[in-house]
Amino acid sequence: MNKNILKKLSYGMYIISSKEDNLLVGCVANSVMQINSDTVAISLNNNNYTTKVILENNLFAINILPTNTSIDLIKTFGFKKSNEINKYENINYELKEDTPIISDTCGYIICTLANSIKTDTHTIIIGKIISMQETNDYEAMTYKYYQENLKGTTSKNAPTYQEETTKTKKNVFVCKICGFRYETDLDELPADFKCPMCGVGKEYFEKL
Ligand SMILES: Cc1cc2nc3c(=O)[nH]c(=O)nc-3n(C[C@H](O)[C@H](O)[C@H](O)COP(=O)(O)O)c2cc1C
């Protein structure tokens, strides 16, 4: 089976936000779809902290990212864990329906959890919309735009992540945390090597 055809599926770019007591959580997701005019679905990895919080607290928001989103915001929400760092420390947001809404996006959709379907790797979160608003007339960012213009990579936890086979004779090292691929002529990574996307050291890299 050639998995390349899956790359022809289209996606957007979103931050899924939620709240656990006083802890604000959230993660980047490309896999949001509208089911009907008051229902949406998202595929969230079973290991994401945000998934656990949504399943326990039954409330979340979809923040629709515009094309002018900074790559730093995506690195924070797309590669780090909400239970390890405060992802909201340096960004503007406000609480609506007790859910963090990120400022300066295209807008938001707030949902209660209507249902969930767990697979081996991801849980399909089905949300019933309780509030939504277009906050800016920005162009929404597509996943293709993110890859082509921000030169962004995909986290290992995203449904669209694929381990690619190498076509060169270079050595390929893959970050076990975020999926970043590093191609080099070297047989070993230098001792002080750090992942340019998520910052972890060489011990987190696996040679393909
Ligand atoms: C471009 C991009 C798309 C992503 N799409 C998804 C997605 O659709 N579903 C998902 O579960 N994780 C997705 N991720 C990965 C999560 O954002 C990432 O694992 C995050 O660190 C989880 O944070 P948390 O543990 O605080 O919830 C994506 C990451 C990136 C960079």
In this structure, the residue with its CA closest to atom 1 of ligand 1 is: 154
Q: What is the pLDDT of residues 42-72, one digit of tens each?
A: 999 999 999 999 999 999 999 999 999 999 9
DSSP assignment of the chain: --GGGGGGS--B-EEEEEEETTEEEEEEES-EEEEETTEEEEEEETT-HHHHHHHHH-EEEEEE-BTT--HHHHHHHHHS-TTTS-TTTTS-EEEETTEEEESSSSEEEEEEEEEEEE-SSEEEEEEEEEEEEE---PPBPBHHHHHHHS-----TTSTT--PPPP-SSSEEEEETTT--EEEES-SS--TT-B-TTT--BGGGEEE-
The pLDDT of residue 166 is 43
Nearest atom of ligand 1 to the alpha carbon of 74: 31
Q: How close is the Cα of 169 to the center of ligand 1, in Å?
A: 30
pLDDT of residue 167: 45
pLDDT at 68: 96
| Paired residues of 101 in beta bridges | 94
Pocket probe for ligand 1: among 45, 75, 150, the residue whose CB has the most ligand atoms within 8 Å is 45
Domains in the chain, please, with CATH? 9-149 (2.30.110.10), 171-207 (2.20.28.10)
Per-residue model confidence as pLDDT tens digits over 66-83? 999 999 999 999 999 999
Low-confidence ranges of the chain (pLDDT < 50): 165-168
**pLDDT for the residue numbered 151:** 81
